[in-house]
Amino acid sequence: MKKDSSLSEGLENFIDEKVIRTEMEKANNPAPGLIREILAKAGERQGLDPDEAAALLGNRDRDLDEAIFETARTIKKGIYGNRLVVFAPLYITNECGNQCRYCGFNAKNSDLDRRTLTSEEIRREVTVLEDLGHKRLLLVYGEHPRLGPDWIAQTVRDVYAVTSAKSGEIRRVNINCAPLHVEGFRKLHEVGIGTYQCFQETYHRPTYEKLHVAGPKTDFLWRLHAMHRAQEAGIDDVGMGALFGLYDPIFEVLGLLHHARRLELDWGVGPHTISFPRLEPALNSDIAFNPPYPTTDHEFKKIVAVLRLAVPYTGLILTTRETAAMRKELLEVGVSQLSGGSRTYPGAYSDPEYDRPDVQQFCIGDSRSLDEVIRSIVGDHGYVPSWCTACYRLGRTGEHFMELAKTGFIQKFCLPNGLLTFKEYLEDYASEETRQVGEALIRREIENYPDPDRKSLLTDRMARMEAGERDLYL
Ligand code: SAM
Ligand code: SF4
């Protein structure tokens, strides 16, 4: 094992491989009675312990797998209703000093065209995204010594500064960048980022050390404690993740749950979101073309369902790495946020030169436009797409948000607010076809809304939207 760098000296490794192995061994092909007991507990929305999640993942009975999916569907519906948060990633730089063996941005990949957006280029990208109807962006960065926290903070300011015609503005900027020191995170907090996102990639330390060949990312513990430092800096919405395909998927899920627990223990609040990218082909990466631990679609669906049961109030994020067909399945069993119309190369939204699959970070599985994605989630699934950012703008974040989420708040505020942002999208950005399907959904949702007072507030706001007002929420 590599020696810890000075960055992580003294940091505790709270991912205990032995504990996880024991949990996995005990969970191998568990008795049907145990699975039913765990599902009954999950139904109470109190979450699951890692060993219980391991038992569900270790189950090999297909009928019981169906019962797991069914429970996940019920919990998802109970907590989130049929609302789905929509965002787009915006790649700011692909310059990177690390050598992650699975990533096209690997410093040694000399075939990749390197690009870092200027303020003007950011403005162009954001304008295109706003004109499509986006309100929530996830900014993505390679890790380069020249591009530190001051520069990252400036790019966030650049994004928030862009407003365009109609209701064009970005209302929440989330960040996916390398782990920073507490002072660096403070700078991001000061410019008003929403969630700080950082994936551990693999919780199996020997695998981590094998796959991260050079650069600051070689330090497992420095990365493992990134969320703790972000919390210390005042960023209380943090997003974790694992890159599926690098190591045993059950180990990774348990790693995520132990990490989540530790955050809850130390900061009183678990992760705001969890992401579970699956390894996709990437330029000049042998690993990305041949994942050492490929996850089948069935296993992957089960992972998403078990996460929904284990951390019922945590947002589960799905990206366009997955195909349209797979995305449909995963929405049903637990996903609460998804991206649409994504490009994974800096500049690719506004510059056709970079809008080619061969230059992106990895291959996109779902290349439909945002309008097509919206039409499908509304028309095929009856979901309400939401661009709502009310909680974040009213300071309902971190522990505060989690407490509210547990008391039915999501149904009371998030659904009406989501409907209002959807109305805004339909008024300003949707194609005629999408508008028709969308208006029909809004009418149905209002008709079925149970609370008469809030229903009349909602009807009033909808009328004001039609009269030209924007950015209304409850
Ligand atoms: N450079 C930062 C870091 O590594 O944390 C953030 C940006 S990185 C582009 C964002 C995420 O992309 C990584 O955390 C990794 O999980 C994911 N990723 C890298 N290569 C991938 C691949 N071939 N397929 C799917 N996801 C990949
Ligand atoms: Fe760089 Fe992040 Fe890609 Fe690693 S995953 S090479 S750190 S961009």
Together in a domain, 222 and 285: yes
CA of 429 to the centre of ligand 2 (A): 34
In a domain, 289, yes or no: yes
Together in a domain, 55 and 115: no
Structural domain span for residue 55: 17-65
In a domain, 154, yes or no: yes
Over the stretch 414-429, which tens digit does the pLDDT of each residue have?
889 999 999 999 999 9
Location of structure tokens 């504990």: 19
Together in a domain, 117 and 259: yes
Together in a domain, 419 and 362: no
In a domain, 398, yes or no: no
Do 68 and 39 meet the contact criterion of CB atoms below 8 Å apart? yes
CA of 103 to the centre of ligand 1 (A): 6
CA torsion sign, 79 to 82 to 88 to 89?
Answer: positive
In a domain, 12, yes or no: no
Average pLDDT value over all residues in the chain? 91
Is the CB of 100 within 6 Å of ligand 2?
yes
Last residue of a domain, one of 362, 390, 418: 390
Is the CB of 140 within 6 Å of ligand 1?
yes
CA torsion sign, 243 to 324 to 345 to 315?
Answer: negative
Over the stretch 445-474, which tens digit does the pLDDT of each residue have?
999 988 898 899 999 999 999 999 998 888
Together in a domain, 207 and 319: yes
Together in a domain, 139 and 265: yes
Collect contacts of 460-466 with beta carbons under 8 A, ≥24 apart.
461/416, 461/420, 462/419, 462/420, 462/423, 465/420, 465/423, 465/424, 465/427, 466/427
CA of 208 to the centre of ligand 2 (A): 13
- The three-state secondary structure class of 406 is coil
Q: Considering every ligand atom, which ligand is closest to the CA of 141?
A: 1
Structural domain count, the chain: 3
Q: Provide ipTM, 2 decimals.
A: 0.99
- The three-state secondary structure class of 293 is coil
Q: Whose alpha carbon is nearest atom 16 of ligand 1?
A: 243
CB-based burial of residue 146 (10 Å sphere; 0-12 exposed, 13-18 middle, 19+ buried)? exposed
Last residue of a domain, one of 390, 424, 445: 390
Do 185 and 198 meet the contact criterion of CB atoms below 8 Å apart? no
In a domain, 452, yes or no: yes
Q: Whose alpha carbon is nearest atom 8 of ligand 2?
A: 142
For residue 325, the model assigns a pLDDT of: 78
Is the CB of 112 within 6 Å of ligand 2?
no
Q: What is the rounded radius of gyration, in angstroms, for the C-alpha atoms of the chain?
A: 21
H helix intervals, 193-347: 205-211, 220-224, 226-232, 249-267, 286-289, 297-310, 324-333
Kindly tell me if the per-residue pLDDT of 353 is higher than 90. no
DSSP per position, 41-95: HHHTTS---HHHHHHHHH---HHHHHHHHHHHHHHHHHHHTTEEEEEEEEEEE--
CA of 361 to the centre of ligand 2 (A): 9
For residue 38, the model assigns a pLDDT of: 97
Name the residue type at position 295.
T
Kindly tell me if the per-residue pLDDT of 287 is higher than 90. yes
Together in a domain, 170 and 302: yes
Rounded Cα gap, residues 439 and 427, in angstroms: 10
Q: How far is CA 53 from the centre of its chain?
A: 20
CB-based burial of residue 375 (10 Å sphere; 0-12 exposed, 13-18 middle, 19+ buried)? buried
Longest dimension (CA), the chain: 64
- Quick one: DSSP state of residue 466? H
Together in a domain, 226 and 274: yes
Question: What atom in ligand 1 is closest to the CA of residue 179?
Answer: 5
Together in a domain, 55 and 83: no
Over the stretch 184-231, which tens digit does the pLDDT of each residue have?
999 999 999 999 999 999 999 999 999 999 999 999 999 999 999 999
What the block records as the tokens of 452 is: 């008469």
Q: What is the CATH number of the domain that holds 353?
A: 3.20.20.70
- The three-state secondary structure class of 286 is helix
Question: What atom in ligand 1 is closest to the CA of residue 103?
Answer: 20
Over the stretch 290-337, which tens digit does the pLDDT of each residue have?
999 999 999 999 999 999 999 999 999 997 667 777 878 898 899 999
In a domain, 232, yes or no: yes
Together in a domain, 147 and 36: no
Q: Provide the β-strand partners of residue 88.
A: 137
Is the CB of 72 within 6 Å of ligand 1?
no
DSSP per position, 130-149: HHHT--EEEEEE---TTS-H
Is the CB of 199 within 6 Å of ligand 2?
no
H helix intervals, 311-451: 324-333, 370-379, 390-393, 398-405, 409, 415-428, 432-448
pTM (predicted TM-score): 0.94
Question: What atom in ligand 2 is closest to the CA of residue 97?
Answer: 1
DSSP per position, 37-56: HHHHHHHTTS---HHHHHHH
With both helix axes pointing from N to C terminus, report the angle between 182-190 and 149-161 in degrees, rounded to the nearest 10: 10
Q: Considering every ligand atom, which ligand is closest to the CA of 99?
A: 2
In a domain, 445, yes or no: yes
Together in a domain, 147 and 258: yes
Together in a domain, 59 and 87: no
Phi, psi (rounded to 5 degrees) for 58:
-85, -10
For residue 339, the model assigns a pLDDT of: 86
Phi, psi (rounded to 5 degrees) for 28:
-70, 115
Last residue of a domain, one of 390, 419, 448: 390
CA of 142 to the centre of ligand 2 (A): 5
CA of 204 to the centre of ligand 1 (A): 17
Q: Whose alpha carbon is nearest atom 4 of ligand 2?
A: 100
In a domain, 395, yes or no: no
